[in-house]
Structure formats: C-alpha cells, structure tokens
Structure 1
C-alpha cells in the first residue's frame, strides 16, 4: 500500500497548500503527513488508495488553492479521497490534538455528571434493562 516517491512528493505539495498551519497549529509540512501518517490512514482504510493515486497522477499545477480546485473539478472522487486521507492523517497526530485541546478518544463513565433530573429521565430504561430482537 506504499505510495511511490513521486506520489509522496505530489501529496506533500498538495498538503502544504491545503493544510498550511498557523494560529498555533502545525502545518502539513511540519508533520510530514505524506509519510507515515498517510500510510497509517491507508492501512486502516485501503479503499481510499486507488482514488487517491488517480488524483495524484492528474497533470496540473498545485501552487495554490485555485489550482487544486481546478484539479478537484476533474476528479471529485479522487479529491474526496485526498481530503479524507489528509484530514485523518492530520488529526491523528498528537501535536495537532494538543494544539486544539483534544486528548483523543477516552473511555468515560457515562453516569458521571448526571444530576437527579437526568437520572429520572433514564430511570425507566435502566429499570427495564436491555431490549433487543434476535435475527
């Protein structure tokens, strides 16, 4: 599932424009998203690889957002794959999560913080127990 050197270079150019960073948040170039982060996303969701590769192979400039938008018009599905892969790779990075104040998914006790009114709302369901049908 590894991208070629040329695909990574193209991806890096696109990511640099699409995720420039600023206001205390790192940019794509700072995080080298085109390497391990993107590979991890593609390992988790390999369905994005083919449309991503197709988009990266499009001929055209990537110097600014209007140029990237022009490419997106030519291959909306490929651009969608690029956007999803980059966003996922970006927000998986600890530096980004720290910058936005998001610690990541955490297991929490759902009853913590419930007041008496909340408990009254769920008491019938809690008393009844699980209800489901078997297939």
Structure 2
C-alpha cells in the first residue's frame, strides 16, 4: 500500500491531528500508521489516491504547517487524510478500551401481539379447503 517513508510522514501528521490526552493514546500509540491504516483503506479504497496525494504533498514539511496548507489548498485530500486517520483510530483496541463505552443492549422486538391478531383472523375464518 504505502511505503515506510510515507508511513513516517503520515505518523507525524496523525499525531498532530490526534495527540495523546489522558486516557486516550495518540494516533501512533494507538497503531494508526500501521495495520489500522491498511484496514481503514480496505474499507474505503476510494480514499487511497487522495490520501496518498495528501501525504506526498505534506512530505518534508512541518506537520502542523502542512496540515494547515492542505486544508486550505487541497480540501478533498485533507478530508481523505482526516477521515482515514479518525477511522483507523477508532478501530484501535487501545482506543476502544480507553473509551470505556459499553453500548446499551438492543431491545428485542416483541411482535407476538401482531402474530396473535393475524392468527385470530385465520381461526375466525375456520379451516376450509378449496
């Protein structure tokens, strides 16, 4: 997918976008520039080209200044970079653990009353073969 130099550039950009704050890990600490980026690109292959262009444009520049320039001059590439960064971040097991969020249980759909009403019509009609 992307070469090691691109990953290093992306890691610096990702840490500017998502720095560490207690209890949340930074993007690189969460593993975003590694397999998680590849996983996110697998979900969004349509973003691979603008993402690569964004990283190439930022290479060799100060990460903060590069992101500012990218957002001003190349908004589509900036969007690809930020969507993939955030998506990969929330795929991280460390991030999920730090969030300590347990989704509420889904309520079961109880349609018994509907079924009973439908069956009552059949019972009222009676059994008749034609």
What TM-score comes out, normalization by structure 1 length? 0.72
By percentage of residues, which structure has more helix? 2
Per-residue CA shift, 1:72-91, capped at 9, x if unaligned?
21111111011110111100
8 A contact 1:12–1:32 mirrored in 2? no
Q: How many angstroms does 1:23 deviate by?
A: 1.9
Per-residue CA shift, 1:81-103, capped at 9, x if unaligned?
11110111100111101111235
Q: How does 1:52-63 map to 2 (within 5 A)?
A: 52-59=51-58, 61-63=61-63
Out of 107, 110, 117, the position equivalent to 1:110 is: 107
Q: How many angstroms does 1:61 deviate by?
A: 2.4
What TM-score comes out, normalization by structure 2 length? 0.75
Asked which structure has the greater CA Rg, the reply is 2
Instruction: Find out whether 1:83 has 2:64 as its counterpart.
Output: no
Q: How many angstroms does 1:32 deviate by?
A: 3.0
Q: Cα RMSD (Å) of the superposition?
A: 2.7
Which structure 2 residue ranges, 5 or more long, are not aligned? 118-130
Q: Mark the CA change 1:24 to 1:57 in structure 2 (over 3 Å): closer, same or farther.
A: same
